Amino acid sequence: GEFGRVYHTTNGGESWETQESGVENVLFDVVALSSQEAWACGLDSLVICTRDGGKNWQKVDIGISTLSPIYGIEFCDSVHGVICGQGVLLFTGNGGLTWQKPEISSNIEYLWLHCLKYSDNQVWMAGENGKIFRSKDNGQKWDEVSYAQ
C-alpha cells in the first residue's frame, strides 16, 4: 500500500495487522506463495520479498537501472515468476535470484503493463490500450493476443 504498508492476516481476513516492509515506496501488488513467502512490487522498480511470514522484507535486485513503476507480480510456484510495469517485463526461473527480459512479439518500451495471472499453465498480462499478452512458458516468451473488440 501507500508508504510501503504491508498488512498480514492469519485467520482468513477476519483481522489484519501491519508489518514493516522497510520501504517508503507505494506498493501496487502482492502475491503470497505460502504462509511464509510473499512478494510485493511498487514505485521506482521496487520488488521486495519475505520468506519468514513478513517479519523481515528484503529489497530484490531485478537488474534494471531505470526507476519505472512495477505494477504486477505473479508466481506460479516458488521458482517461476513474472513482474511487469511501465515498459518493464521480466521473468525469473530461479525463485527471484535473477530476473531476465523475455522475448516478446510487440514493442513494450512505452507501454504500461498491469495484471498478471497464471492460469492453466499460461501467464496472462493486460496492458494499456486494450493490449493482452500470453506466455506459455512461465514468462520466457510472450505473444500479443488478438481479440474482437
Q: Residues 91-95: contacts with CB within 8 Å, 24+ apart? A: 91/135, 91/138, 91/139, 91/140, 93/138, 93/140
Reduce the DSSP state of residue 89 to 3 states and report it. strand
105-124: per-residue pLDDT in tens?
888 888 889 888 988 889 99
Residues facing residue 46 across a β-bridge: 42
Could you tell me if 86 and 61 are in contact, meaning their C-beta atoms sit under 8 angstroms apart?
Answer: no
Decide if 30 contacts 39 (C-beta within 8 A). Answer: yes
This prediction has a pTM of 0.90
pLDDT range class, residue 4, cuts 50, 70, 90: confident
Asked whether the beta carbons of 102 and 113 are under 8 A apart, the reply is no
Contacts of 18 (CB under 8 A, 6+ apart): 5, 6, 7, 8
- The string of pLDDT tens digits covering residues 35-79 is 999 999 999 999 999 999 999 999 999 999 889 999 999 999 999
